[in-house]
Amino acid sequence: MSGHSKWHNIQHRKGRQDAARGKIFTKVTKEIMLAAKAGGGDPTGNNRLKSAIEAAKAVNLPKDKIETAIKKGTGELAAEAIEEVMYEGYGPGGVAILIDAATDNKNRTVAEVRHILSKGGGSMGASGCVAWMFDKKGVLAFPKDEHSDEELLEIGLEAGAEDIVDDGETWQIQCAPEDFTAVREAFVSAGIEPAESEITMIPQNTVAVDKETGLKLLKLYDALDENEDVQNVYANFDLPDELLAEMQD
């Protein structure tokens, strides 16, 4: 399961991810703060912040809360000290899992993540054990019934896109993180708004799992995603078609 997999798209449509509005707001607010802290409060020169603001607007985070989060990130306003941390581990079937967290208490968060992984049939791994299996990429998704791959490539390649991937119902344009803003703006300027766009972690290879293992992995994924400190979960498994079909019913 990559940042944009068939499961991700189903999950997004059904609104399963971050079902509670409060949790959505907490996650996007933390990302704005971290982005502003890392690269400054001006989104025109901070691709990560620009992406974070777009994600916040997509879930209707009020403008004043966005501005406050930016100021907290830059230190203009007082705020709790939030740190970024990436945990690595394994799920059922030996699937590689990356867990991106933002926390004010690393001891608490690592203990909770370790417990969730263990309870879900997985385990925490050492730093570097699976991160090498993933590449950080900008990803823009476009409905296949609205656009051809030739059309998208013609626009994307000139702006810095690296590849286009068939992801079932969508085409995925992939690019280097530093080219994400330029690629996205090229499509918007051409009158084509991506259905989704983000900087994410893409697995270099995926592992096919059976239905039983897939169900266990989805349960583990949901448990991790429900933790208040977990921002994103990335994994390298492919669900069987029969399970995907059941989830769409």
Average pLDDT, the chain: 87
CB neighbour class for 139 (10 Å; exposed up to 12, middle 13-18, buried from 19): buried
The pLDDT value recorded for residue 235 is 93
Statement: residue 222 has pLDDT above 80: yes
The CATH number assigned to the domain with range 134-203 reads 3.30.70.980
Confidence check: pLDDT of 238 > 90: no
Q: What CA–CA distances, in Å, run from 210 to 121, 240, 241?
A: 15, 6, 10
Residue pLDDT, tens place only, 9-43: 444 444 454 456 667 888 899 999 999 999 999 98
Its pTM stands at: 0.83
d(CA 40, CA 81): 16
In the chain, the percentage of residues whose pLDDT exceeds 70 is: 90
pLDDT-wise least confident of 10-24, 176-190, 211-225: 10-24
Nearest CA among 39, 126, 122 for reference residue 86:
126
Residue (of 165, 217, 186) closest to 4 by Cα position: 165
Half-sphere exposure of 156 (CA within 13 A, CB side): 28
pLDDT tens figures, 88-144: 999 999 999 999 999 999 999 999 999 999 999 999 999 999 999 999 999 999 999
Alpha helices of the chain — where are they, by DSSP H? 6-14, 21-39, 47-58, 63-74, 106-119, 149-159, 180-189, 211-226, 241-248
Q: Which CATH superfamily is domain 84-132+205-248 in?
A: YebC, transcriptional regulation domain (3.30.70.980)
Superfamily of domain 18-74: Integrase, N-terminal zinc-binding domain (1.10.10.200)
Kindly tell me if the per-residue pLDDT of 174 is higher than 50.
Answer: yes
Question: Hey, where are the domains in the chain?
Answer: 18-74, 84-132+205-248, 134-203
Q: How confident is the model at residue 245 (pLDDT cuts 50, 70, 90)?
A: confident
Assess whether the region 84-132+205-248 and the region 134-203 belong to the same CATH fold: yes
